[in-house]
Amino acid sequence: MSKITHHIPEEMLCAYAAGTLPQPFAVVIAAHVSLCDACRAAVETEAALGGALLSGMVPATVSEDAKERLFAALDSAPLPPPQQRGSGIFPAPVMEALNGQPPRWKMLGGGIRQQILSANAEGSLRLLYIPRGRAVPEHTHGGLELTLVLQGSFSDCEGWFGTGDVEVASDDVDHQPVAGDEGPCICLAATDAPLRFRAMIPRLLQPLFRI
């Protein structure tokens, strides 16, 4: 893996540690954290600080009836599913989003493929496959986009992004990512609003491809 030089912003790591991020962004950050020692250490520090704050709080009085109802609910709760492991280039959080299965790519045109992993009111999460040297159509954003490189690299007006790097693009970023010459670029991307394509054909196909 190339050295990771593009990290998650501190405020997003704090929100991730607190569990307040929308699910699509949380998955991207979880995948990055599994690859990046620096961001993993930052998340662990935030978690430790949160634990220290909680331990310093005055405990509230809980009735015996409330305790009995809590323990009964815990006893009847189903066991959590076994934790998913990483596979190949896909970290464990990505394999969990894939339900443990290989990607099922759908063609977007020009050799570019995607698989939508989730799409709801919180946003969308997808895998993207970009052939070597191929460009994604130029676009801006209606909101926030996080893109984690899982294989290969891409470059745009914001710089060069290799395996493990994350690009944070907001509505002021107008870019056209191009996959590197070393091979196909595979990315995990989360958005909370549709992209805004410059060219007519991508705009016409946007509802079909749900981008």
Degrees (nearest 5) of the Cα angle 38, 116, 32? Answer: 5
pLDDT at 25 over 60: yes
User: What is the predicted pLDDT for the residue at 54?
Assistant: 47
Higher pLDDT, 195 or 129: 129
pLDDT: which is higher, 64 or 123: 123
Taking CA 198 as the corner, what is the angle to CA 197 and CA 200, rounded to the nearest 5 degrees?
Answer: 90
SS3 of 44-61 = HHHHHHHHHHHHCCCCCC
pTM: 0.80
Question: CA-CA distance, 28 to 81, in Å (whole number)?
Answer: 21
Residue 90 — pLDDT band, cuts 50, 70, 90?
very high
Question: Would you say 189 and 146 are in contact if contact means Cβ atoms under 8 Å apart?
Answer: yes
Pick the residue with more confidence: 162 or 201? 162
Structural domain boundaries enclosing 147 = 1-81+90-211
140 or 4: which leads in pLDDT: 4
Q: Tell whether the torsion through CA atoms of 103, 196, 32 and 81 is positive or negative.
A: negative
Check pLDDT > 90 for residue 179: yes
Q: What CATH number is given to the structural domain containing 131?
A: 2.60.120.10
pLDDT exceeds 80 at position 152: yes
Residue 128 CB: number of other CB atoms within 10 A? 22
For residues 178 and 7, give the distance between their C-alpha atoms in angstroms, rounded to a whole number. 20
CB 88 within 8 A of CB 148: no
pLDDT of res. 79? 47
> What three-state secondary structure class fits 146?
strand
The three-point CA angle 203-128-186 to 5° equals 145
**What is the pLDDT averaged over residues 89-115?**
94
Cβ burial, residue 132 (10 Å; 0-12/13-18/19+): middle
What mean pLDDT comes out for the span 27-36?
Answer: 96
**Over 70: is that where the pLDDT of 30 sits?**
yes
How many domains does the structure of the chain reveal? 1
pLDDT for 35 beyond 90: yes
Residues of the chain above pLDDT 70, percent = 76
Q: Pick from 16, 37, 24: which is nearest to 146 by CA?
A: 24
Say if residue 198's pLDDT is above 90. Answer: no
Hey, how many other C-beta atoms are within 10 angstroms of the C-beta on 1? 11
pLDDT at position 94: 97
Give the whole-angstrom CA distance, residue 4 versus residue 32. 10
Long-range contacts (CB closer than 8 Å, 24 or more residues apart) made by 66-72: none
Q: Is the pLDDT of residue 66 over 70?
A: no
Average pLDDT, the chain: 85
Task: Check residues 14 and 193 and name the one with the higher pLDDT.
Answer: 14
Q: How confident is the model at residue 139 (pLDDT cuts 50, 70, 90)?
A: confident
